[in-house]
C-alpha cells in the first residue's frame, strides 16, 4: 500500500461514537471529567455527542473552571485548552436532551461527574433507559466521580459488579466547604444499596476499575487514566507492551 493509499484508508476508517451524559443542574458538572475524556477519545478519532436532562446549555462547577477565581483546577491545561477553543466551548451551550437520544447510535457512553450528577442523573428514568440499552447490547458503559451514581438507575444490571466513584469520605470533606447534604444523594451509599461492589482509595487518590465492559473512575484526579483505559476498551486492546524480563 502506498503512502497516499494509507492516508486515504485512515481518512475513511470508521470512528467510534461516544455519548457523554452531563448534568443540567445549577451546581454544575466537573469540567475535567468532561474535558479529559473528550481530549483522549477525540485524539483517537472518536466522535462525541453531549446530552443532558434538559438539553441546551450546561455549566461547569465554578471551582472546576481553571479561569475562575478560587478554582481548584487552575493548573488544568486540558480544561484551559478546551475553554480556549470557541468551537469546543460552544459545545457546552447546545447539548442534546437525553430523552431524545437513541443509544443504538453509539458505541459507548460516558457519564460525567460533578455534584450535579447526584442531583439530576439519579434517579432519572431517561438515564435508566439509555444505560439499560448499553448494558443489554454489551457496549461500554463508563462513569466517573459523582457520575457513577447513575449506575444505580439500573440495579439489575450492576448488582454484583465492581465499580468506583466519589467516596463518602471525599464527599464529607466537600461538605466541610459546601455545607452538610450539599447534594441530595451521595454516590457510595447509593451504589452500594444497588448491589455494587464499591472500592476506592484514599481521598483524591487515582483509582480506575474495569469490570468487563464497565469502567469507572473515582474522582477528577483519575480522569486521564480513566480516559486512556476507556480508549483501550474501545480499541479492544492496549498498545502498551510490558517487558517482563
Give the separation between CA 223 and CA 206, rounded to whole angstroms: 9
Mean pLDDT calculated for residue range 66-73: 96
CATH number of 15-235: 3.40.50.880
* pLDDT at res. 6: 40
Comparing 1 with 135, which gets the higher pLDDT? 135
Q: What is the pLDDT of residues 170-183, one digit of tens each?
A: 999 999 888 888 99
Quickly count: other Cβ atoms within 10 Å of residue 68's Cβ.
15
Residue 227 DSSP SS3:
helix
Task: Write out pLDDT tens, residues 145-167.
Answer: 999 999 999 999 999 999 999 99
Q: What is the pTM of this model?
A: 0.93
Mean pLDDT on 119-148: 98
Residue 2 has pLDDT above 60, yes or no: no
| Residue 8 pLDDT > 50 | no
CB 57 within 8 Å of CB 90: no
Whole-number average pLDDT of the chain = 94
State the Cα–Cα distance between residues 112 and 91, nearest whole angstrom. 15
Q: What is the mean pLDDT of residues 30-56?
A: 98
* pLDDT range class, residue 245, cuts 50, 70, 90: low
Mean pLDDT of the 223-235 span: 97
Give domain limits for the chain: 15-235
Cis peptide before 123 (omega within 30 of 0): yes
CB 229 within 8 A of CB 235: no
Amino acid at each position: 500500500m502506498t503512502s497516499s493509499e494509507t492516508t486515504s484508508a485512515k481518512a475513511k476508517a470508521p470512528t467510534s461514537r461516544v455519548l457523554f451524559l452531563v448534568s443540567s443542574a445549577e451546581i454544575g458538572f466537573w469540567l475535567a471529567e468532561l474535558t479529559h475524556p473528550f481530549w483522549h477519545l477525540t485524539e483517537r478519532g472518536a466522535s462525541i455527542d453531549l446530552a443532558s436532562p434538559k438539553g441546551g446549555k450546561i455549566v461547569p462547577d465554578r471551582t472546576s473552571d481553571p479561569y475562575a477565581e478560587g478554582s481548584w483546577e487552575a493548573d488544568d491545561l486540558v480544561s484551559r485548552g478546551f475553554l480556549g477553543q470557541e468551537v469546543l466551548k460552544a459545545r457546552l451551550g447546545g447539548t442534546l436532551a437525553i430523552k431524545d437520544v437513541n443509544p443504538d447510535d453509539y458505541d459507548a457512553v460516558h457519564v460525567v461527574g460533578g455534584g450535579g450528577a447526584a442531583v439530576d442523573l439519579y434517579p432519572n428514568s431517561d438515564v435508566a433507559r439509555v444505560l439499560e440499552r448499553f448494558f443489554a447490547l454489551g457496549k461500554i458503559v463508563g462513569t466517573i466521580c459523582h457520575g457513577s451514581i447513575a449506575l444505580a438507575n439500573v440495579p439489575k444490571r450492576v448488582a454484583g459488579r465492581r465499580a468506583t466513584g466519589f467516596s463518602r469520605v471525599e464527599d464529607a470533606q466537600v461538605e466541610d466547604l459546601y455545607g452538610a447534604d450539599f447534594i441530595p444523594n451521595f454516590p457510595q451509599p447509593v451504589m452500594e444499596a444497588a448491589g455494587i461492589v464499591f472500592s476506592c482509595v484514599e481521598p483524591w487518590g487515582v483509582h480506575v476499575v474495569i469490570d468487563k465492559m464497565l469502567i469507572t473512575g473515582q474522582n477528577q484526579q483519575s480522569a486521564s487514566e480513566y480516559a486512556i483505559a476507556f480508549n483501550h476498551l474501545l480499541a479492544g486492546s492496549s498498545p502498551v507492551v510490558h517487558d517482563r524480563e
